[in-house]
Chain A
Amino acid sequence: MIQQRDARGGGGVKKFIAMHVKIIPSAATLVLFVIVYIIGGVLYGNVGFLTFRNFFSLFTDNTHLLISSVGMTLVIISGGIDLSVGAVAALSTMIIACGNAVEYGPERVGWGWPMLLCVALALAVGIILGFCMGILIQVFNVAPFIATLAGMFFARGLCFIMSIDSVPIRDPWFTALGRWRIQFHDLLSVNPNARVNITIGVFIFLVMLIISIILMHSTKIGRNIYAIGGNEQSARLMGLPVAGTRIFIYTFNGFCSALAGVAFALTMFSGYGRHLYGMELDVIASVVIGGALLSGGIGYPLGSLFGVMTQGVIRKFVNFGNLMSGYARITVGVLLFLFIVMQRIVIMIANKNKEA
């Protein structure tokens, strides 16, 4: 009996990595999240880190990031980038606030429209802005960075044109919706009054997550997005509708940004041009930490969820440990760096195996 063995003993691990290139980054994020959470539990377990409330607050406090990451995942998988998400979200909070208010500020008069119309208008504006940016990027060949940067300036500018100061939202239906919670007793806490709150924003996000998972894994559009991100030339030569898909991606992301703004308004109950400054970078960092490659072609909607949760957990460390907020930013920077390095190593191993 001749037993044949693989001559390269170490080939087992490398082959495993090469076969599962696409899922390793996202899986690694999940592992990282669990590790960080355990560390947090060890350090701060006695001050409430290991409660259901703490865990679910990762969702409830970050609904806008979660919803926006759904759209941004599509953009990044297609190889593009969208810097306008924070601005469009702020714009939709502004449209909801100003559209609904009867009067605000010393001399501004609101439109006094019914809330449902305002929300619909906010979403429509997000869709239109996304569509315009998609046209600039696809038809006029403008670099996505510049086109979405212009979109960001434009949307912020519109916010400030509507009002420099913040505008409160007082509509009873809207505030009731924002205050609505599913509450249940926190089983992991010793406090008899501890409750876990789940707000409507979480459910909006779950719906969007399911839509994007179905979109990316079970429809033609999703396959086209992965194809464009992988190699646009090849996709075009294969006859895939590159133009239409790209315009769809940016339009969808515009919708997600506007929806994120609605979710944010449901927590803040105000419209303000200065809301969500820098949100685009948090979302991009979350999507990248979640396993999507910036060069495109690789990524999972679920991965971005883990990315947002990881960012959230790091911020919790700063809160629980009373560290200077400077440290939170540095830590996120370091984490982003380690993540990309890991992604590069995984890709390099995969490429070497392909050549061997």
Chain B
Amino acid sequence: MKILKKIVSSSMFSPLLALFLILLFNLVIQPNFLSVEIRDGRLVGNLIAILNRSVPVMLLAIGMTLVIATGGTDLSVGSVLAVASAVSISLIRGGDVNPTADTAMPLIWVVLITMLVGIALGLWNGFLVAKIGMPPVVATLILMVAGRGLTQNITRERSLTTGHLPFGEIANGFTWGIPNQCWIALAVFLLFWYFSRRTAFGLFVESVGANRSAANHAGIRAAVIIVVVYALSGLCASIAGILSASNVRVIEPMNTGQNMELDAIVAVVLGGTSMRGGKFNLGGSCIGAIILMALTQTMYFYGVPVEFALSIKAVVIVIVVIVQSPVTHKFIRREASAQ
């Protein structure tokens, strides 16, 4: 009984349960859904497709988790993703009018410079929130709007492509049978998990989110923590941007990264992190991203017309959020004790 109680009250329980239910639903009706097979030394199948396609949102969600844990929100990640994609493809193209199969700059520099751009944009957000004291929604909204404009200016309002195939390998290649994207996501997650759970950093983030002035009085430099957290979110968004550009080797100024910030926030909330700040759950956010993609794939699989997808997403979000709400827990406890 004790073990059962421990499992149920664990923070990973509710997102894993939601994911499990979705997969179970599919497994029962159409066992093919969870197909995985080995072809040419790579793992392919619907399950792998879900994991693979959930990577961009997962990366955004990892960065977003820490931001939400400090009590803020980062609405600019979609635009930062677009800027990063535009920057990386522009650097590869150099000044060429037409896309070629060469790159004007070694890929390692392209990746590093793009990540620096992401960090810089994140630092800007952090500066606005921590030093100027802007509400995070507005501060990141500014970058969201301005970032979209920046992308349009970098790409001169056209879609940019590149023919440089090794760049495409970053996202599309397979290593030991698993897509590269998944390894990158795993690496980022492990790095974040290590620094937030094995060092004091995570504790500082939670304190700043729970009560910023109390954290300050306790000696934690809340402003520094906040700036770092937004910079990390920008970094994650730029990595996601590189992967997105690498995946399809094109950047579309109006479409790339559009609305992804909302998916990231939903993934974090589904994962159990409270939007009020405080305790966060990195693993839960990753599961949340997978849940969103599993939901989308489920709807593709059953030919649910795209129109229904948005409404179903909304209903699932509402159900999960109501179930997670402390009000519901109080209600259940009251009913349980009344009997």
Bound form: Cα–Cα A156–B313 in Å: 11
Of the listed stretches A142-150, A242-250, A254-262, chain B binds: A142-150
- Check: A220 CB closer than 8 A to any chain B CB: no
A330 and B132 form a contact (CB under 8 A): no
Q: Report the 10 A-B pairs with minimum CB-CB distance, sorted nearest first.
A: A157-B311, A157-B310, A333-B146, A326-B152, A160-B307, A154-B314, A153-B314, A329-B149, A143-B275, A330-B149
User: B86 → chain A, closest Cβ, in Å?
Assistant: 12
**In A298-335, which residues have CB < 8 Å from any B CB?**
324-330, 332-334
Bound form: Cα–Cα A154–B111 in Å: 38
Q: Which residue of B lies closest to A162 (CB)?
A: B307
B149 and A141 form a contact (CB under 8 A): no
A329 and B310 form a contact (CB under 8 A): no
The 8 Å CB contact of B132, one of A139, A333, A341, is A341
A337 and B265 form a contact (CB under 8 A): no
Of the listed stretches A52-60, A183-191, A280-288, chain B binds: A280-288
Can you give 17 contacting A-B residue pairs, CB < 8 Å?
A: A139-B327, A141-B327, A142-B321, A146-B275, A147-B321, A151-B314, A157-B314, A158-B311, A284-B141, A325-B157, A326-B148, A326-B151, A328-B149, A329-B148, A330-B150, A336-B142, A341-B132
A81 and B137 form a contact (CB under 8 A): yes
**In the complex, which residues of chain A have a beta carbon less than 8 angstroms from the beta carbon of B317?**
146, 149-150, 153
B275 and A145 form a contact (CB under 8 A): yes
- Check: B328 CB closer than 8 A to any chain A CB: yes
**In B306-339, which residues have CB < 8 Å from any A CB?**
306-315, 317-318, 321-322, 325-328
**In B296-313, which residues have CB < 8 Å from any A CB?**
306-313
Q: Which residue of A lies closest to B128 (CB)?
A: A337
Candidate in B150, B314, B322, B328 with the most chain A CB atoms within 10 angstroms: B314
**In the complex, which residues of chain B have a beta carbon less than 8 angstroms from the beta carbon of A211?**
none
A140-B141 contact in complex given A153-B317, A330-B150, C-beta closer than 8 Å: no
- Check: B177 CB closer than 8 A to any chain A CB: no
B322 and A157 form a contact (CB under 8 A): no
**In the complex, which residues of chain A have a beta carbon less than 8 angstroms from the beta carbon of B133?**
344
Q: Which residue of B lies closest to A327 (CB)?
A: B149
Give me 15 other A-B pairs in contact (C-beta within 8 A), A136-B318, A341-B132 excluded.
A149-B266, A154-B310, A154-B318, A161-B308, A164-B306, A281-B141, A326-B151, A329-B145, A329-B146, A330-B150, A332-B145, A337-B142, A340-B134, A340-B138, A344-B134
- Check: B276 CB closer than 8 A to any chain A CB: yes
A294-B137 contact in complex given A150-B314, A344-B132, C-beta closer than 8 Å: yes
- Check: A295 CB closer than 8 A to any chain B CB: yes
Bound form: Cα–Cα A145–B146 in Å: 21
User: A72 → chain B, closest Cβ, in Å?
Assistant: 13
A149-B262 contact in complex given A288-B138, A344-B133, C-beta closer than 8 Å: yes
- Check: B32 CB closer than 8 A to any chain A CB: no
Chain B interface residues (CB < 8 Å from chain A) = 73, 128, 132-135, 137-139, 141-146, 148-153, 157, 262, 265-266, 269, 275-276, 306-315, 317-318, 321-322, 325-328
B149 and A326 form a contact (CB under 8 A): yes
Q: How large is the interface on A (under 10, 10 to 19, 20 to 34, 35 or more residues)?
A: 35 or more
Q: Which residue of B lies closest to A348 (CB)?
A: B133
- Main secondary structure on A side of the interface with B: helix
Q: Mark A286-297, 1 if CB is under 8 A from B, else 0.
A: 001000001100
**In A116-146, which residues have CB < 8 Å from any B CB?**
136, 139-143, 145-146
**In the complex, which residues of chain A have a beta carbon less than 8 angstroms from the beta carbon of B269?**
146
**In the complex, which residues of chain A have a beta carbon less than 8 angstroms from the beta carbon of B146?**
329-330, 333-334
**In the complex, which residues of chain A have a beta carbon less than 8 angstroms from the beta carbon of B157?**
324-326
Bound form: Cα–Cα A142–B269 in Å: 11
Bound form: Cα–Cα A139–B141 in Å: 28
The 8 Å CB contact of B138, one of A139, A147, A149, A294, is A294
A281 and B145 form a contact (CB under 8 A): yes
**In the complex, which residues of chain B have a beta carbon less than 8 angstroms from the beta carbon of A143?**
275-276
**In the complex, which residues of chain B have a beta carbon less than 8 angstroms from the beta carbon of A326?**
148-153, 157
The 8 Å CB contact of B312, one of A136, A145, A157, A334, is A157
**In the complex, which residues of chain A have a beta carbon less than 8 angstroms from the beta carbon of B152?**
324-326, 329
A150 and B145 form a contact (CB under 8 A): no
B321 and A161 form a contact (CB under 8 A): no
Q: Which residue of A lies closest to B148 (CB)?
A: A329
Q: Which residue of A lies closest to B322 (CB)?
A: A140
Bound form: Cα–Cα A139–B324 in Å: 13
Bound form: Cα–Cα A325–B313 in Å: 32
User: B115 → chain A, closest Cβ, in Å?
Assistant: 23
Bound form: Cα–Cα A160–B137 in Å: 28
**In the complex, which residues of chain A have a beta carbon less than 8 angstroms from the beta carbon of B138?**
288, 294, 336, 340
**In the complex, which residues of chain A have a beta carbon less than 8 angstroms from the beta carbon of B132?**
340-341, 344
User: A121 → chain B, closest Cβ, in Å?
Assistant: 18
The 8 Å CB contact of A157, one of B141, B144, B307, B326, is B307
Bound form: Cα–Cα A189–B173 in Å: 64
User: B325 → chain A, closest Cβ, in Å?
Assistant: 5
